[in-house]
Every structure is written in C-alpha cells, then in structure tokens.
Amino acid sequence: MNDALHFSYKGFFDHLVDAISFHTSSKDAEKFIVKNRNARSSIVASMFALESAANCLLNSLDLNRKLNDELDRLTLLAKFDVFLKWSGFETLNRGRAEVQSIMEVVRARNDYVHPKVMKLEAKLSPKDSNKDCISFSVMTNTRPSTKISKCPMYWSDIDCLAVLKVTVDFLSYLVEEVMSLAPQEAHKVFSSRIQESDIHIMLLHPELKNELTIAAKDLGISFEFLGVDKSYFIQGLDG
C-alpha cells in the first residue's frame, strides 16, 4: 500500500478555511442569533484545525496503529508535546502568550462541547417588557486572554475572529520558532497529497487558497508560514 498510488486526506486546511468562512457569515448576519450560530461553528472549526495539525504531526512519525490509538487519547497540547519531544525539539513553552491563549481556547471549547447548566446574573427591564415579551439583560464575564465571552450564547464574529487569530498565532509559533520549518516544509506536513512511493504532490483546492488569500488581506492574518503557494491541484479530484 505504501508504494501504490493513493490520496492522503488530512483536513487541516478545510477546517481552517471553515473557521474563516463561518466568521464571514457571522459578521454579515443581521440577526444576533444567526451571528452567534456561525460564530460557534467558526470557533469549533478553529479547534478542529488545531486537532488536525496535532494529528498531522503525529502521523509524520509513522508509528504503529496501536501506539497511534493510545496517543489519540491525549489532550491537544500533550499531542504537540509528544511529537516535539519524540522529534528532538523543545516542548511548548507554557509561559508563552500563544500557548496561554490556546489553553484558554481549549477550556472554552471543552465547556462548549461538554455543556453544563450555567447560572448567570440577570436584570429585568420592565419598561421594555409587555404582556407578550419579557425584556432582561444577562451579565457574562469574558476570558482574560482572548476576551471571548465565557457563555457561548454570546459569542459573535468578534469572538470567533479572536479565536482564529489565536489559532494562527499558536501555529506560527510552533512552526517557525519551535520547529524552525520553512513554509514549504510546513506545507508538506499539513497538506493533503497524492503519493506514489516516495513521490508526493501537495494538494490545495484553488478555492481554499483564494479564501486564505482574501482572509489574509481582509483580516490582517498572515498564512505565509504555511506555504499555501506551494500547492498543486489536480483537476480530476474536483468533484
């Protein structure tokens, strides 16, 4: 199987662009409930991108399936640290702002996907209420580093953009400072590919590349460290 022609799908760039796309939908939404729905999807997609990045790195170690299954049970940051230690790099500096922020986002993600009842201080607004509607406001705190709301019900395009930036900042720190990878080397790790024997052709759909380019301009986020300009797209795979 290793020598036969095959397609290796990694999903990292799909999740990253999903986070961007859902942020755009959240920003463009007029109703807050729609804005919030897309913001939640964007934040989850950012976390999927991080999880995918960790799995891409572990996959590059070419470990046996049993060990891979055991490593899959680790926490997100533990996966990165295992890869780094195994590969001879320094482990993540927990004191770095990029790592602190990701730890905060991981906690937010865990709180969201393992929902518990939240009791928040509320205040009635009698003058804005009537027989058909009760108007009230809710007090919610923000997380200290990312400044996103602790209550997912109040996530907006501002919150999901903060998470997207934190995600990219962490990956940039990992790739450029900890691992000292050139963009083309990083792209080999995270990109899907066509492979036969030792021949690899990196693949990134033109639409995904275009959305990354637009996001870099509109959101002020640099994706250059991921080497997205080093991809090849084979038309036969589209649809």
| Confidence at residue 233, expressed as pLDDT on a 0 to 100 scale | 53
| Confidence at residue 239, expressed as pLDDT on a 0 to 100 scale | 38
Per-block average pLDDT, block size 10, for the chain (239 residues)? 76 96 97 97 97 93 81 91 95 96 94 82 77 78 92 95 97 97 92 78 85 93 88 48
| Domain chopping of the chain, boundaries | 6-237
Helix (H) or strand (E) holding 184: helix 183-190
Whether this prediction's pTM lies above 0.75 is answered by: yes
Residues in a beta bridge with 130 = 133
| Confidence at residue 238, expressed as pLDDT on a 0 to 100 scale | 42
| Confidence at residue 234, expressed as pLDDT on a 0 to 100 scale | 47
Q: How far apart (Å, rounded) are the C-alpha atoms in residues 142 and 4?
A: 51
